[in-house]
Amino acid sequence: MSVSNTSPSRTERTLLLALGTGAVIWIVICLLHGGHAAVMAFLPDAGALVAFTLPAEDASTTFGTDTTSFAGELVIPGLPLPALVIYLAAVTARAGAGILIGWGVLRLSRRMLAGDVFHSSVANALGFISIGIALGIVSSALHGWVSMLSLELLPADSPLAASADILLRDIALLLMIGTATIAVRIGARLQRDTEGLV
């Protein structure tokens, strides 16, 4: 005997379809951006796109008004081979993270549309998303490392400093999704245990 699932309402269906469409667009953007960055690294006179911060006093001098520290990205050509390899690993990890998260969201949307909230594949989809976020954290760390290596190539008196994305938010998100995965697994077990219980 299978427990009857509640079919999603029209609004829920529309929202889930929008979520699925967003996931597809996200995968395409990640692939295009990752591909563009990887190709750029191999072009003559091109290099890696690295993140930097400009301290507040230097940013104020540069922009002429009082301002806080300025963060941005710039292309640094002529990277040493190890930095280039790390950069390509970061770009690949970022694209992989996008694909995994998008794929996970698509699978999640599909299961939710079918009304299977506590299905084992829901936990698997959340697992895909978690791995994607973890890969994103690794990519950010690698990117930060490349930024540090790249900025060493600049003149010693350069005020620019390497910067990396704040990972705290990603880690918090990872923990939340991990909790949701555990909840789904418990729900699936409870549903399995109570199926056919009279």
Partner 1 sequence: MTDDTNNLGRLHSRVGELAAARDITLTELAERVGISPVNLSVLKNDRAKAIRYTTLIGLCDALNCQPGDLFVLAPHPSNAQDG
Which stretches of the chain bind partner 1, using CB under 8 A?
Answer: 1, 195-198
Q: How far is CA 31 from CA 70, 107, 109, 123, in A?
A: 28, 19, 21, 25
Q: Closest CB to partner 1 among 119 and 143? A: 119
Q: Closest CB to partner 1 among 43 and 198? A: 198
Nearest to 161 by CA among 50, 67, 85, 86: 50
Q: Closest CB to partner 1 among 64 and 196? A: 196
Cβ 189 to partner 1, closest distance in Å? Answer: 14
Residue 131 burial class via C-beta count within 10 angstroms: exposed 0-12, middle 13-18, buried 19 and up: middle
Q: Transcribe 142-156 into DSSP letters.
A: HHHHHHHHHHTTS-T
Cβ 197 to partner 1, closest distance in Å? Answer: 4
**Sign of the torsion formed by the C-alpha atoms of 68, 71, 72 and 76:** positive
Q: Closest CB to partner 1 among 1 and 81? A: 1
Q: Transcribe 92-129 into DSSP letters.
A: HHHHHHHHHHHHHHHHHHHHHHTT-TT-HHHHHHHHHH
Q: Transcribe 49-60 into DSSP letters.
A: EEEEEE-HHHHH
Cβ 1 to partner 1, closest distance in Å? Answer: 5
Cβ 124 to partner 1, closest distance in Å? Answer: 19
Cβ 181 to partner 1, closest distance in Å? Answer: 23
Q: Closest CB to partner 1 among 166 and 197? A: 197
Q: Closest CB to partner 1 among 3 and 182? A: 3
